[in-house]
Structure 1
Amino acid sequence: MIKIRRIKSNIDVKGQINRYGFDYVLSDGLNIICGDNSSGKTTILSCIYYCLGMEQLLGGNKDKILDKSLRTSFSINSINYTVVYSEAILEIENDDGKKATIKRVIKGRSTENSNSLLVKETYDSQKSTKTYFIHSVGDHENESGFYSWLKQFSGIELPQIYQDDGSKVKSLYLQNIMSCALIEQTKGWSDLFSQMPYFGIKDSKTKVVEFLLGLKSLENDIKKDIFEQEKKDLKKDWASYLENFNQYMSRYSIQIDGLTEKYDSRITANTINRAKLYFIDSDNAILVDKLIKDIKKQLLDLSINVNSENNSLDKTNKQSDIIKSVRVLNKQLRELENKKITEKYKVEDYKKLVEKNKYNIDQVSGIKKIKKINDLKIINQCPTCNSELTHESRLELKEDKIDFDKSIAFLKSQQDLYQSYIRSSAALFEKLDSAILYYRKELNDKELQLNIIKKDISDINDLSREKIYQEIKLNKDILDYEAVNRELVTLKSKLKDIFDEINDINDKLESLKLNKLEDAQQILGFSNIFKRYLEQFEYSSNAISSVVIKDDYPAKLMPFIEIFRFDQPNEVQPIRLNSSASDFIRAEWAYYFALLISSNKHPGFLVFDEPGQHAMKTSSMQKLVSASEVCKKQIILTISKSLDKKNKGDSSEKNKVNNIEIITENNNCENINIIDIDPENKFKCIQALK
């Protein structure tokens, strides 16, 4: 755990020798940073985020999270100053008494890199200085990575999970953990852990709470995710093997029976072994093994009758049969070719629609950003229903009547449908091409056979060209279909391996035994603390007894309201959906405080930026201050200093009350470090440094 001792910024300006910035010292317990709106409270906190490398929690890079007074310019007494260099400095201390000063450049001159942090450590009489990198591969593992150093300094040991092959799996990042300690005023109060970066971690909120509470289920949940991903990959391999096999078999008009491209949990080893191949001839399906036997019999019959007398009538009848067969094959071939042409035109149309939709999305997005329709000519269709707009209806368009978000969502959903069809068309074209190739080959064979029979009919010699051709063709068919059977054997072997691996993973999933009793006790303790804080902070939307911490997925370890149903199972709903806006803020206070008190893996401090959201009652703010004072942890609150008196439209100084005096009136102010950014209500936090 760590404590924040000091936050400072140094700013050099154009044409000035003096330095500007701010410099504030923080105490172990409750710290209240106060000032009027836009005085710079959030600017101070953003420097704490920045020095800890936590700008992702604020939604982006330094240009998005740091005020322009730190990057470009600021004014004091109506005099403008241009920033030429700036840096943020944070002093922290860990539980061992080791201190560290972190310096990070905000605006550099030329050689400074904002993704390099200079850290000076002091312990007893020993001092060391080292530069660490951030926001690059290895910043969590490399000894020169900043997050690697911060983990070691703060004593936060992230869980290390290893796969069977010995490779390490990244389970949580330091940014995930810090989201329980740093809550900013705009996005931070919209939901629990709403600032947490995604990082592709499944159920990341639950995993963070499991980690903080030291639950045994964390490692198992991470391993479960790994196993589930391995199963997903194996099922993809299954689908790929069968898809490729089916495309190859379509050349011979052969289909596999008993196995589908989608893996089914009901599949057994016998299911794979029993799979058979069928030759599809028009509406008839013939087992390939039987087909091989039939061809061999035809070959035998042909060799027996090779020296028999030619029968001109038989040959003529055979000629008629082949002509009929050629007509049927030609018809089927034309149908397939026409279908391919139709699909090509359809795909081309969808590609045009994709481009058109992309243009429409760009246009509506642009209108949304500037909140004004500059050119009605660009709006040819309704963004929501896609119907044509007449000139008169375009003139009646009003910006305040258009839901841009819904329009963009509708257009994107259309885009997804078109692109999905275009992607799936590739597989369809492959199947059509294979089928067309098969029918063309069959036609060529029939036409060759027809020509040979014609010559045999007109030839007076005993030698039958048609029978020689038949013998060659039948031998080739036998070789082809036997090769097809060998391909099936290879496929079954691959599918059996996948089946065995999936079964092995299922066994591993079953063997993930949780120490549920120990975890349940931890969760119960956390739940009780959470409820005590809810009551203390005056939560009233629901009875405290109906509040539960969910112990299973989905949303495991998140707060819910249990709704009692007569003669029906009780229902649970998220506390956010069943609380007033101000009560949900109280619930967030309670949840973050409960984590701070319950965890020995917590960063060790809480930063609440403007916690008095949604016209919070003064008494609740007083309760928050009291809880912060007595919890024996470092709490940093930024709170507006002055509030307008009730029932007064005038917001002048004489009609304002000192909010800090009111919310701390029940507390011993000697235990509270109140940092007034501007006691005289004249300046912002950026001032000339002494």
Structure 2
Amino acid sequence: MSQLTINALKINIVTNKGVFGTFSNFVKGLNVVRAKNSTGKSSYINSILYALGVEELLGGTNGKTMKPVLREELTYQNNSYKVIESNVELQISNANNDSITIRRWITSVTREERLIEVEFGPSLTEGKKFKKQDFYVHLSGSAQNEAGFHSFLVEFLGWELPFVPSFEGKERLLYIQTLFPLFFIEQIKGWSSFYAQTNTNYGIRELSTRAIEFILGLDVLSNSKLKEKLRIEKALITQEWSNLVTLIKEKADAVAATVVGLSDKPDLLSNYEIFVYDKNQNLISLREKISESVLEYNQRSNVVRSIKDIEKEHEAKINEVEDKVLALQSEANSIRQDIYSSTINQSTLEENLVQLQQDLKSNQDAKKLLDLGSDKNLYVAKGICPTCNQKIHETLLPQDIEFQPMTLEENIKYIKDQLATLKFAISQSKGGTNEKNKRFRAVSEALEEERRRVRSLKLELREDPRMLSNLDIEETLNLKWRIKELEETENSFEEIGRKLETLKQQWQQHLIETTKIPEEFFSKLDKTKLEMLQKKFRYYLEQFGYSSTLLEDITISHDKFTPVVRGFDIRFDSSASDYIRLRWAFALVLNFISNQYGGNHPKLIIMDEPGQQQMNINSTGKLFELLSGLEGQSIIASSLTLKEIEGVTEGVSVNVIDLGDDYIMKPLLI
């Protein structure tokens, strides 16, 4: 269980004329810190942020975020004093009632601003000394390393901060600074938004949503994280699979091979095969081709023949090869014609696709205008078809047809179906053309090889019959080289195949993990929390006297978890003072839901000057009353007079800390 309770606050300022500062004790429940405007009230409240190392809510980091009175010069009784050294001491406790005292210097010659001293005990309230340890903040590792202050603080408060999706596609820690805007409302930016984000988003996607999910303890946070993890995982597997498929096709093209059964996307049942053309231009498996070639090579390499030995064989081969050249030439011409026809057909299909896409756009625009009741001087408003410019009567077919014509909506669906069919046809056409190109390449290479053989055979017959057949030797060597090339290609395919099998296993595991995601985005408990969040939020608004819009029109967005009116930002429908009431209600309802239904709210609400926009005193009184009824602690800094506070808190349990009407920082030692 997480909890943060402020027990005491002390500010120490050493000047050239003595020590100044202030000290206050806080109680559980409602604390109202009362001081006159411009006397240091905000400096007092903001020093809590500074001590906790979350001063980024103020627009920066380290001592420069503190007012000049705490680091440069202070005024007391019309006299100015130069600040030599200053620090803030904050005593806090957690859900186990363990207390620590945090000490951080604002300006010092010896102590750096990023150094935080922790005393393990309630030294401010008991006046004793306890064991001390130094930590660092606003340096790399301060949120996760053992010596990092925020790492220590998160553990002390009982939080387990999650890792959430980042813009980089990786995961980042939901830093402690991102949570404070939901329960610490500082005066400058805190009242301008339901989530007054710091100057940086820490690279976290949808930061405010992630913070609210954590504070409310929504199960959807883990579901969203899992979905994002699986989305990234799917993209990585798909990309790696695509890279391997491309590599397979490139290697297949290099040996004029055809790949069959290879899916372009991850597929558990994908079992592809590699085929190549044999001597007769028939497709056989790569292994068969290698075996066939090895057998032929062995037969050739066992005998070294002279030209005289193969003279008659050469003469027969010349006639055979010349016939084969004619057949291959005829086949090449036929394939070339098929490729040309396929290219023309594909071009026509692509032109039709462009036209259909334009028709779809025109008809969609037409429907939009008609749905809006357009009566402008537009084609569609006058009943003219946006595609063919013919007269229409809310349909796209001639009126003399004896059956019910399609409406615009039906026609749009019909065009979409046609587009899907056309895209499939284009895809098939491209695949067919690619295979024809491969076959044309194989036939062309075979044709060129046979022509070369004819020339070589005729040339060798003119040589001395006693000489060895160079052609026989050359063909044997070429065959050996071809076998080596095919075997290397086969080895490459086997290696890639092993990688694909590994990807299949990863893809199978990915699909298994996907089935674990709940079908419904929100769990049953999430739904209960969100229903009560909306109900209780409306209740608080009613109590505060909100009147800008009907309460039943206000809902809680299920994507950002902030209030909306009819789906739009509620700020546009609220007066300035009512928006402050909205901010009050949102801060209170997060605390209430977390406490009642389980969450990670620290049971602490701090507001600096909630009486913004000349807020009605009765509304402020109701705020004090409702805050006092919440579990945990609230600290309100207010410029109301003591009499006004006493008036609106009559009957309410409250600890009033009156800092007076003069400057808060007063002499501690003279």
Secondary structure in structure 1 of the residue aligned to 2:28: coil
Q: Which residue of 1 aligns with 2:563?
A: 559
Q: Which residue of 1 aligns with 2:649?
A: 667
Partners of 1:288 and 1:579 in 2: CA distance: 76
1:608 aligned onto 2:600: no
Secondary structure in structure 2 of the residue aligned to 1:85: strand
Tell me which amino acid in the other structure corresponds to 1:274: Y
Q: Which residue of 1 aligns with 2:91?
A: 91
1:502 aligned onto 2:500: no
Task: Rate the CA distance shift 1:138–1:661 in 2: closer, same or farther, 3 A.
Answer: same
CA deviations on 1:101-158 (whole Å, 9 max, x unpaired) are 211122231355633323241499996322142335665566654334434543x242
TM-score (norm 1): 0.61
Partners of 1:549 and 1:160 in 2: CA distance: 24
Partners of 1:161 and 1:671 in 2: CA distance: 40
CA deviation after TM superposition for structure 1 residue 161, in Å:
9.2
CA deviation after TM superposition for structure 1 residue 607, in Å:
1.2
Task: Rate the CA distance shift 1:277–1:589 in 2: closer, same or farther, 3 A.
Answer: farther
Give the number of aligned pairs.
Answer: 516
Tell me which amino acid in the other structure corresponds to 2:588: F
Secondary structure in structure 1 of the residue aligned to 2:193: coil
Q: Which residue of 2 aligns with 1:637?
A: 636
CA deviation after TM superposition for structure 1 residue 547, in Å:
2.8
- Asked if the contact 1:2/1:605 (under 8 Å) is kept, the reply is yes
Q: Which moved more, 1:614-623 or 1:491-500?
A: 614-623
Q: Which moved more, 1:534-543 or 1:46-55?
A: 534-543
- Asked if the contact 1:21/1:689 (under 8 Å) is kept, the reply is yes
CA deviations on 1:621-663 (whole Å, 9 max, x unpaired) are 4443443344464222334x3xxxxxxxxxxxxxxxx677667
TM-score (norm 2): 0.63
Tell me which amino acid in the other structure corresponds to 1:460: E
CA deviation after TM superposition for structure 1 residue 259, in Å:
5.2
Partners of 2:38 and 2:258 in 1: CA distance: 72
Between Structure 1 and Structure 2, whose CA radius of gyration is higher? 2
- Asked if the contact 1:179/1:193 (under 8 Å) is kept, the reply is yes
CA deviation after TM superposition for structure 1 residue 4, in Å:
1.5
Q: Which residue of 2 aligns with 1:130?
A: 132
Secondary structure in structure 1 of the residue aligned to 2:133: strand
Partners of 1:472 and 1:113 in 2: CA distance: 79
- Asked if the contact 2:293/2:479 (under 8 Å) is kept, the reply is no
CA deviations on 1:311-369 (whole Å, 9 max, x unpaired) are 99989x99xx99xx9xxxxxxxxxxxxxxxxxxxxxxxxxxxxxxxxxxxxxxxxxxxx
Alignment of 1:141-152 (within 5 A): 144-152=147-155
Secondary structure in structure 2 of the residue aligned to 1:525: helix
CA deviations on 1:592-644 (whole Å, 9 max, x unpaired) are 101212323421211123434556555544443443344464222334x3xxx
Task: Rate the CA distance shift 1:238–1:296 in 2: closer, same or farther, 3 A.
Answer: same
CA deviation after TM superposition for structure 1 residue 292, in Å:
7.7
Task: Rate the CA distance shift 1:295–1:228 in 2: closer, same or farther, 3 A.
Answer: same
Q: Which residue of 2 aligns with 1:9?
A: 11
Q: Which residue of 1 aligns with 2:528?
A: 521
Q: Which residue of 2 aligns with 1:546?
A: 553
Partners of 1:599 and 1:62 in 2: CA distance: 31
Q: Which residue of 2 aligns with 1:591?
A: 586
Q: Which runs of 5+ in 1 are unaligned?
A: 163-168, 280-284, 326-438, 564-571, 642-657
Tell me which amino acid in the other structure corresponds to 1:505: H
Task: Rate the CA distance shift 1:21–1:454 in 2: closer, same or farther, 3 A.
Answer: farther
Partners of 1:587 and 1:508 in 2: CA distance: 40
1:238 aligned onto 2:241: yes
Q: Which residue of 2 aligns with 1:476?
A: 481
- Asked if the contact 1:625/1:664 (under 8 Å) is kept, the reply is no
Q: What's the RMSD between the two structures over aligned residues?
A: 4.9
Secondary structure in structure 1 of the residue aligned to 2:607: strand
- Asked if the contact 1:117/1:146 (under 8 Å) is kept, the reply is no
- Asked if the contact 1:12/1:85 (under 8 Å) is kept, the reply is yes
Tell me which amino acid in the other structure corresponds to 1:679: D
Task: Rate the CA distance shift 1:522–1:539 in 2: closer, same or farther, 3 A.
Answer: same
Task: Rate the CA distance shift 1:260–1:17 in 2: closer, same or farther, 3 A.
Answer: farther
Partners of 2:648 and 2:296 in 1: CA distance: 108
Partners of 2:506 and 2:53 in 1: CA distance: 41
- Asked if the contact 2:142/2:150 (under 8 Å) is kept, the reply is yes
Partners of 1:255 and 1:76 in 2: CA distance: 90
1:679 aligned onto 2:661: yes
Alignment of 1:72-91 (within 5 A): 72-75=72-75, 81-91=81-91
Q: Which residue of 2 aligns with 1:688?
A: 667
Task: Rate the CA distance shift 1:246–1:629 in 2: closer, same or farther, 3 A.
Answer: same
Partners of 2:294 and 2:589 in 1: CA distance: 83
- Asked if the contact 1:5/1:91 (under 8 Å) is kept, the reply is yes
Q: Which residue of 2 aligns with 1:274?
A: 272
Alignment of 1:28-67 (within 5 A): 28-35=28-35, 38-67=38-67
CA deviation after TM superposition for structure 1 residue 73, in Å:
4.0
Partners of 2:262 and 2:609 in 1: CA distance: 60
Q: Paired residue for 2:495, among 490, 501, 515?
A: 490
Alignment of 1:572-583 (within 5 A): 572-576=567-571, 579-580=574-575, 582-583=577-578
Q: Which moved more, 1:47-56 or 1:663-672?
A: 663-672
- Asked if the contact 1:453/1:465 (under 8 Å) is kept, the reply is no
Q: Which residue of 2 aligns with 1:532?
A: 539
CA deviation after TM superposition for structure 1 residue 18, in Å:
0.6
CA deviations on 1:30-71 (whole Å, 9 max, x unpaired) are 334455655433322221012112224444321452223333
CA deviations on 1:284-327 (whole Å, 9 max, x unpaired) are x9978479849968996996996533799989x99xx99xx9xx
Partners of 1:17 and 1:254 in 2: CA distance: 92
Task: Rate the CA distance shift 1:479–1:659 in 2: closer, same or farther, 3 A.
Answer: farther
Secondary structure in structure 2 of the residue aligned to 1:273: coil
